[in-house]
Structure 1
Amino acid sequence: MSTEEQVIAAQRGDHEAFHHLISSKKAKLYSIAFAYLKDETDALEVIQEMTYRAYTQLSKLKEPKYFQTWLTRILIRICIDEQKRKRKVMPLFQLPEQLATDLKLDDKILLEVAVDLLPPKLRHIIILKYYEDMTLSEIANLLEKPEGTVKTWLNKALIELRIALRKGSEHVQHI
């Protein structure tokens, strides 16, 4: 059964279809939640809340083919709400494994700090593009923004990161 067929079945009250839909996406959902919240318990709690909201609002999903995007959008909104609610200092952004192995320790630390200091909309683009390996059109669809806007934000984020890294490496060399 395709994802679209499972969504339609779940919308008609098939609890098993809904369970299968959520279960098949759990690793990706956890990865996104953890990238935002940096805490296993918090990530699991927001996934639970996302599951509840998705279940209660499934009838509002008009296009079953966009289920993954719709679900991820709900998750991101809950993660942002959780960040605001806790008002806590978030631990450093965790670099994707591939990028982390190619950098020296000083550069890793500088990059993690620089990503954490980006404005939220730019940080979201960096997390989704480089940590979650999403395409620009997937990010645009997820954030409900034109692809050109996402490209502009990505470009701005990369420029800000380059500036921060240049300043940071100059500062580290002087120490």
Structure 2
Amino acid sequence: METDVLLAQKGDKEAFSRLIEECQLTLYRVSKGILKDDTDCADAIQETILKSYHSIINLKQPKYFKTWLTRILINECNDILRKRKKIILLESVDDIGSSEENTEALIDLKLALSKLEYNHRTVLILFYYEEFSIKEIAQILKVREGTVKSRLNRARQKLSSVLNLYKDERGIENE
């Protein structure tokens, strides 16, 4: 990836296209985790690609391309949310990488994630689904690593509580 970043910084359009293709699933998952509507996701991704294409020359460390691109995407998503003042809901767990059938557990997870605050849902998606490190998430969100750790901890606790409520409502015994 770093080679393609260096080529793209020198104006190689094919190298930039390869970079975007390599990151397209991440771009969709992250945008879908923040925005509800596929059209909004497409708008955010398109703006991200345009902005990154025009400013890739300013990227100082090629190894952080994916982190840098994700930060641009999150800013774009936040801009869309501010403009539309929408409530953020997670549309589908399947879109975030699950290949299993839509079971009750996945439905519960979808509902539980949608109940979490934006900051908690975002760190869960970046950490578990996109497998960014704590350090990378801190860079993406422009917060301290300790803040990411505490958000992850609180998000896990809240997610667990919500999932346990769903189990209790259906009468499923906790294991």
- The two structures have a TM-score, normalised by structure 1, of 0.77
Are positions 1:152 and 2:150 aligned together? Answer: yes
User: How big is the shift at 1:108?
Assistant: 4.2
Residue number among 77, 81, 96 corresponding to 1:79 in the alignment: 77
Q: Give the distance between the partners of 1:123 and 1:91, measured in 2 at CA.
A: 10
Cα deviation, 1:21-55, whole Å, max 9, x if unaligned, reads 22232232222222322433322221111011112
User: How big is the shift at 1:136?
Assistant: 2.9
Q: Secondary structure at the match of 2:132?
A: coil
Amino acid at match of 2:150: T
Deviates more, 1:155-164 or 1:10-19: 10-19
Stretches of structure 1 that go unaligned for 5 or more consecutive residues are none
Deviates more, 1:107-116 or 1:66-75: 107-116
Deviates more, 1:88-97 or 1:151-160: 88-97
Greater relative contact order (Cα 8 A, min sep 6): structure 1 or 2? Answer: 2
Question: Which position in structure 2 is the counterpart of 1:10?
Answer: 8
Whether contact under 8 Å (1:93, 1:113) holds in the other structure is no
Q: Give the distance between the partners of 2:22 and 2:63, measured in 1 at CA.
A: 15
Residue number among 17, 38, 41 corresponding to 2:39 in the alignment: 41
Question: Which position in structure 2 is the counterpart of 1:97?
Answer: 98
Question: Which position in structure 1 is the counterpart of 2:129?
Answer: 131
Higher share in helix: 1
Residues 4 and 78 (structure 1), Cα distance of their counterparts in 2 relative to 1, 3 Å cut: same
Q: Secondary structure at the match of 1:145?
A: coil
User: How big is the shift at 1:71?
Assistant: 0.6
- The two structures have a TM-score, normalised by structure 2, of 0.77
Aligned-CA RMSD value: 2.7
Whether contact under 8 Å (1:93, 1:115) holds in the other structure is no
Whether contact under 8 Å (2:34, 2:118) holds in the other structure is no
User: How big is the shift at 1:154?
Assistant: 0.6
Deviates more, 1:153-162 or 1:135-144: 135-144
Are positions 1:29 and 2:27 aligned together? Answer: yes
Question: Which position in structure 2 is the counterpart of 1:68?
Answer: 66
Residues 84 and 110 (structure 1), Cα distance of their counterparts in 2 relative to 1, 3 Å cut: farther
Q: Kindly tell me the number of residue pairs found equivalent between the two proteins.
A: 168
Stretches of structure 2 that go unaligned for 5 or more consecutive residues are none
